Amino acid sequence: MQGQEAIGRNEADGTATRANDETAPSEVPAESASVEQHPLKRSAPHGPGCFKLGCVTLVLLLVTVGGFLYIVAAGLDPSLGPGNAGARSVAKAAVTSLSKNPSVESTQVMQAGANSNTGSVAEVKAHLKADTPVDSAADMLPSTCSAAQRNSVWGTVTVGIIFTWNMKGTEIDVYFNCRGPGSELRTGVQHDLAPAGEAATIMRNGDTSSLEVDYADVTTPPSTLTATSGSPTIKTFTMNGWKVTSTSNTEGQFPTTVSFEQVITAAKQASPTGTIDLNGTTLSVTGLVTDDTKDLAPEAAAPVVHAVADCQSAGLTTLQLNNWALNTTSSVADPWLTFTCNNGTWTPQHDGSTGQDEATILNKAAEL
């Protein structure tokens, strides 16, 4: 009996063992399952948070690269940069300021933008009512410049204001820049436009151009010919067929000691037309030769030399007389007979045959 019970227990234990073996594959613990997963699966991130982080990184990278490329492009072509929009904003502010002035008939944006040659530029033209006083324009410039420059938030913008109108018979079309304090801007306008009412035209095309004042045909030298201008200026007039050009220094100051009337009277003895150019301390005369097959005759040149015989009192250092006819198309290295002021007396500048011609003219002038 006892042996049969032992055999029964053994059979039961064997059955239980087989049952456990058959159920083992479906009852593996969680810890064991995780150990058996692939190593790459264990390190891979999961969840929406990790996906968002990757997107943010990509966006930041794209913004950085895009910003760098924009800076490079704007450096090569300023019209692509903020200076372009800044110039338009400045021009708009200038137009708004001018439009509020009762002396302004209309305004026009001439230029508003940026490029590699000029940088950011804003130019506005104001058409003023006829006979608007110069002082009104002088007051208008600093206030307009101030209003425009307050909107220059994208860097430096070169601002230019052009005033155009007819002032007592003078056609004015002058560019003014906005550099300097208001008092200097106001004074500059007053000096530049002082010939208004006497000159035929007063013009300046741009920031780097000289002011040009033309008195046209006159019977006597203009009263404002030697008046100091507010900037480098070229003044011209024609008298008795001779066109005179007087050029100021960089401060707008003109020579005051040369008598153009006497020079014209002397030159007209040789020719009915010609040109006289005074630039600093150099006086140049062209037109004394009327026959392009001949050189300058001493009889034609001597009266001009005599008219400015006291070169020191005339404030001259050099006198040039063209050895060619006024309308000649010939080209020579040095077409001038030139005289140098030495202790108040003219002396020949050249050596050789040219110097001899100059000496002959001086001797002829001494006889007058």
Q: Within this chain, do residues 206 and 259 fall inside the same structural domain, yes or no?
A: no
Provide the percentage of residues in the chain whose pLDDT is more than 90.
67
In a domain, 61, yes or no: no
Contact criterion met (CB below 8 Å) for 230 and 192 = yes
Q: State the residue range of the domain holding 332.
A: 255-368
Residue that terminates a domain, selected from 215, 241, 264: 215
Mean pLDDT, residues 176-194: 97
Query: Which ranges in the chain belong to alpha helices (H)?
Result: 2-23, 30-35, 39-43, 48-76, 82-99, 134-149, 182-192, 260-267, 298-307, 311-314, 352-366
Paired residues of 165 in beta bridges? 172
In a domain, 16, yes or no: no
Q: Within this chain, do residues 116 and 206 fall inside the same structural domain, yes or no?
A: yes
In a domain, 319, yes or no: yes
Q: Within this chain, do residues 131 and 194 fall inside the same structural domain, yes or no?
A: yes
Q: Within this chain, do residues 194 and 133 fall inside the same structural domain, yes or no?
A: yes
Q: Within this chain, do residues 107 and 178 fall inside the same structural domain, yes or no?
A: yes
Q: Within this chain, do residues 201 and 99 fall inside the same structural domain, yes or no?
A: yes
Q: What is the pLDDT of residues 235-265, one digit of tens each?
A: 999 999 999 999 999 999 999 999 999 999 9
Q: Within this chain, do residues 276 and 205 fall inside the same structural domain, yes or no?
A: no
Q: What is the pLDDT of residues 297-341, one digit of tens each?
A: 999 999 999 999 999 999 999 999 999 887 665 666 678 999 999
Q: Within this chain, do residues 264 and 176 fall inside the same structural domain, yes or no?
A: no
Average pLDDT over the chain, rounded to whole?
A: 84
What is the maximal distance between C-alpha atoms in the chain?
176
**What pLDDT does 208 receive?**
92
pLDDT at 169 over 50: yes
**What pLDDT does 57 receive?**
73
In a domain, 164, yes or no: yes
pLDDT at 344 over 90: yes
In a domain, 260, yes or no: yes
Q: Within this chain, do residues 278 and 149 fall inside the same structural domain, yes or no?
A: no
Q: What is the pLDDT of residues 98-125, one digit of tens each?
A: 999 999 999 999 999 887 566 789 999 9
pTM for the model stands at 0.77
**What pLDDT does 51 receive?**
59
Residue that terminates a domain, selected from 194, 215, 236: 215
Q: Within this chain, do residues 350 and 299 fall inside the same structural domain, yes or no?
A: yes
pLDDT at 80 over 60: no
* pLDDT confidence band for 65 (50 / 70 / 90): low
Q: For the packed helices 298-307 and 352-366, what is the interaxial angle rounded to 10 degrees?
A: 60
Provide the percentage of residues in the chain whose pLDDT is more than 70.
76
Q: What is the pLDDT of residues 125-153, one digit of tens each?
A: 999 999 999 999 999 999 999 999 998 76
In a domain, 68, yes or no: no
Classify each residue of 110-145 as buried b or exposed e, where b means 16 or more C-beta atoms within 10 Å of its C-beta.
Answer: bebbbeeeeebbbbbbbebeeebebebbbbbbbbbb
- Which residues have CB under 8 Å from 363's CB, separation 6+? 298
Q: Within this chain, do residues 185 and 267 fall inside the same structural domain, yes or no?
A: no
For the beta carbon of residue 104, count every other beta carbon within 10 angstroms: 22
**What pLDDT does 119 receive?**
76
Total domains, the chain: 2
In a domain, 356, yes or no: yes
- Give the residue carrying structure tokens 């013009």: 203
Q: Within this chain, do residues 86 and 208 fall inside the same structural domain, yes or no?
A: yes
SS3 118: coil
Contact criterion met (CB below 8 Å) for 318 and 340 = yes
**What pLDDT does 328 receive?**
66
**What pLDDT does 31 receive?**
45
In a domain, 189, yes or no: yes
Alpha-carbon torsion angle 338, 232, 211, 246, nearest 10? -30
- Give the residue carrying structure tokens 């903020």: 82
Residue that terminates a domain, selected from 215, 247, 274: 215
SS3 1: coil
